[in-house]
Chains A and B, each alone.
Chain A
Amino acid sequence: MEFLLNFVERTGAKAVGWWNATFAVLAFLTEVLSTLVRPATWNRATLDTIVKQIYFTAVQILHVYLVYVLAISWVIITITLSTARDVGLFDAATEMIIRVLLLELLPFLTALLIALRSGSAINTEVALMKVNNELDALSHCRVEPMQFEFLPRIAGGIASVIGLTVLGSVLTLFLAYFSIYGLSTSGFDAFSNTISTVFGIGVLMGLGVKCIFFGLAVTTLPMAAGLETPKKLFMVPVSVLRGMMRVFLALVLIEVLSLALEYI
């Protein structure tokens, strides 16, 4: 009997914990959005911090990112082409490469890279700010950390996911074209035709929305997790652990949802 009660109690505690976490994230998102639409937010200082964040999130890792995209794209294009040749489906290879790499894999891997690099950093920083009372100090001064700490990171994260995905995609397109047709323009029409069948206006918009959600997930979830940290230094690693776990779940969820919307 006591065991049963304990079990119910533990389940209840877990559910409440989940609910609180979800609620905190949603409340944080609401605050982000309300700050976003406030005209006063968009002054020179905010733009400057956003520029700084884009620099740290995207420009600093650009060369690493491009090499990484080159390697992954090359491997996947080569495998797809040789398999397609073996089973006699060479016509479908271009479409398969574009669909797999440009629509799914590149945005996902970009978001994952930014989550690993910047998301974890954001989570740690916010948790430390919370533990060190820096957030209290800012609120005493009536300066909202949202505007110069959080919002620029979110905007920078979204811009970085979109920007890196665009650059990686263009690189992959060139790589795919040269892998299939070599250095000749003969395949251009057929290639364009495949691209036009894959990229409808709806698909392009869906891709944009997916990148925005990826950018939101890799920045807001770590921030929300950091803000939840109790004021104890040893809780910082726990907070990062939780935040990154949530980021991963969110990325998979977004990817699955986008696939479901596209193919079902």
Chain B
Amino acid sequence: MFKNLHLKVGLFVITVLVLALAFLVYVLHARGFFEQRMHLQLAAASAEGITPGMPLTFSGMPIGQVASVNLNDAGGIVIKAEISQSGAKWLRTDSTFNLDKPLVGGAKIKVSTPDLSSPQLPDNATVLLLVTDPAQEIPALIERVKNILANVEHITRQDGELNSTLANAKTITTRMSGKYGVLEGVLGSEENARPVVNSLKNLEGLTARLNEVSAKVDAMLVKADRWLFAEDGMSEQSKQALAQVRSMLTDAQGSLKRVDELLKNAVDISANVKDGTQDLAKLRADIDDSVRKANDLLNDINRMWPFGGDADMKLP
């Protein structure tokens, strides 16, 4: 029994020692004790939100961490970071360093390297740390997106400019295809011809505006995407919703392109006026549909996002 006891205790003690030692070696290995680490100095305007131990990530994978944050004698911020050997190869001279502070979750420094063929970043290099705080910009961004969508709605409302223009165009083209044919429409009189020209001008201007608007929305959405939804922060739903908005706007854009073509056709006033009329009717329905969808989505987004009517941010 005594022999057995010693054997058991010996086993226990040896297991514990081996595991403790293995864990120590593992921690030291994980902390990069056994490898040559690359050192970086990050220059930033403010050290706010930067703490030692904060990870540096490249394409979402951790490659190193902030070692220390200090003030130098001149009152500047000195942030020292350590990069693991395997991570160092992703750092090039044109790499950018962004402080990423998501609304929820831990902050990190995102490293992105646009061109992997540029020369390697040397050890102990000093790089610029870009700091953006999405929390302050989001309410303004949302307000702008809402304004733009309201504009789109206003333009395309039932009694709006686009509709009435299209209605005019329809009347004219109906008359063209009517009893008196094309001649009445074009050569009939100046009184008849003027609205056509005006409406065509209107349509052209409108198209340009819509194009501009949708380009703006697009750019804004790209920005929002980068700030807000860069990682799986907020909610997948809102992300999808935004994607839908974008595709819808692309739809609207496509429809407008078709309007453009039609208008070119109309200017030609050729034989296919009849086709044009049908197309115009369909187009109107298309645009109406797109706008209605966009409107619904906007409501959805408003409902899903915590910032409803007021531009206040609320964390979940």
Contact = CB atoms under 8 A, between A and B. Distances in A.
Contact of B104 (A52, A88, A195, A199): A88
Contacts of B233: 88
A163 B62 contact: no
Interface string B223-239: 00000000011110000
6 contacts: A51-B9, A59-B8, A88-B104, A88-B105, A163-B12, A196-B27
Interface residues of A, number: 30
B7 to A, nearest CB: 10
A92 B106 contact: yes
Given A54-B9, A169-B23, 11 more contacts: A62-B12, A88-B105, A89-B105, A163-B13, A170-B23, A192-B30, A193-B55, A193-B65, A195-B26, A196-B27, A199-B27
Contacts of A92: 105-106
B316 interface: yes
A59 B9 contact: yes
B125 interface: no
A59 B7 CA distance: 11
A173 to B, nearest CB: 8
Interface of B: 5-6, 8-9, 12-13, 15-16, 19-20, 23-24, 26-27, 29-32, 53, 55, 61-62, 65, 104-106, 232-235, 316
Given A87-B104, A166-B23, A197 B55 contact: yes
A144 to B, nearest CB: 24
A190 B235 CA distance: 23
Contact of A54 (B12, B31, B234): B12
Interface string A218-250: 000000000000000000000000000000000
Contacts of A166: 16, 19-20, 23
Nearest to A159: B13
A167 B105 contact: no
Given A55-B9, A166-B16, A196 B31 contact: yes
Nearest to A188: B30
Contact of B232 (A88, A195, A200): A88
Given A167-B19, A199-B27, A55 B104 contact: no
